[in-house]
Structure formats: C-alpha cells, structure tokens
Amino acid sequence: MDEDRIKKAVLGAIEKAVDAHELAEIVRAFARGPRPTLPEGPNDAPPTAGAKRLLTRIALGDILDDSILAARPQDRTFPLRLFFGELSRLLATDADDGAAAAAADAAFTLASGLNFFFRAPMDGESKMRVGFEASRQLYVVADAARLDPELVGKAAPLLAALMTGELERLKFECVDHVKVFDSQLHERAPGSDPTAFNIVRPASFLCRVGTNNAVKVKAEVLT
C-alpha cells in the first residue's frame, strides 16, 4: 500500500469515526504554528459535551471494556488503564513549550494510529502493518512524554495482547524484558550504536506467526 493510499484510508476511517466539525477543532489545537487564542481566567468556557465525547473516542474509551476502564490496582489490566489515562491527559494538554507540545503531538499520532487499527476494516497484512507502526509510536510517546518506564513495561505486553485479538494468524509480542540484542528477533532502530549488544530500550513490538511462532516482523530496539 503506497503512502497516498494509506493517507486516504486513515482520513476515511477517522471521518467515519468522529464528527468532522469537532475533529477540526482538535486538529486546529494541535496544528503547527500559533495556537488558537483562548480566553483566560475564571470565565473560561468548560469543554463541551461533544469535545468530551470526541476525546473519549480518540482515547478509545468507547471500545475498551470495563475490565480495563474500571480496573483496580490489584487487577491485571490496571497498568493498561493507567496508560490510557496518561494518553488522555496528553491529548488534552494545551502546551506551548517545545517538549510538551511534541509529547502532545506524539500522543495524538499514537491515538490516531490505534483508532485506525481498531476501527478501520482492512486485510490482515495491512492491519498488522498499521499495528506495528502504532507500536513504534507507543515508544515514541513514552520517550517524548517521559512516561514511567515501569508503567510502560507493564502496559506494553497488555496492549500487545489487546491488539493481537484483532489479528488473524499473527500475534504481537512485547520485548521490553529482553536486555541483549538478538539478530533473529531484533532490528536496530535509528540512532543505535551498531556495535553495541545491550538494549537501551525497545522501539516496537515483535510480530510472530501464531501457528508456529516464526518471526514475521522483527522488533526494533535501540542499542
């Protein structure tokens, strides 16, 4: 699938998933260049119900079930609840400084990729590729927003399992626990030391064939 077709498919999926006028307001808020001028002080208008619904949908609040959204600290899925809470917080951030704005933009890209993955109909190979790119963006967000590594390490395998439920004959696997580079499982991400074998941090999920566990797409890691 070429770049133009991917862009058209993503825009088509988003158009079906959210209200166009509300989406325009969100996109304008995250666009490059000057931010919209908003009123300041105690008379600030609260977010509209539509804006709240849109943020909920972008953060997949209408897709995730109660086992995630209502998870408690003792529940296995609680790290995933915390992660999507962090994603919602980043999406709602109206930041002007460079680092915070970059983190907000990265979060919006991740949320858009996850929405496309979970909502848009597509063939299995395309879905796997979209999911793999979303997993790469997960670690971009984690780095840009300086998320707690322990939270990311616990949430990533849960997200990989959640995404695997959308695939046929393939599965995603988190490699956060692996500390040594293995050429059969890993590709070095841009910026890696090509002579190093210690993994600094993961940069994507691994994709395997479900029936025989063969590697379909290697995980990217930073060494």
pTM of the model: 0.75
SS3 readout for 15-73: HHHCCHHHHHHHHHHHCCCCCCCCCCCCCCCCCCHHHHHHHHHHCCCCCCCHHHHCCCC
Q: What does pLDDT average to in each consecutive run of 10 residues of the chain (223 residues)?
A: 59 55 50 44 59 72 81 92 90 78 91 91 94 96 94 95 94 95 96 96 96 96 96
Concatenated DSSP letters for 125-156?
A: HHHHHHHHHHHHHHHHHHHHTT--HHHHHHHH
Chain position carrying tokens 């307001």: 25
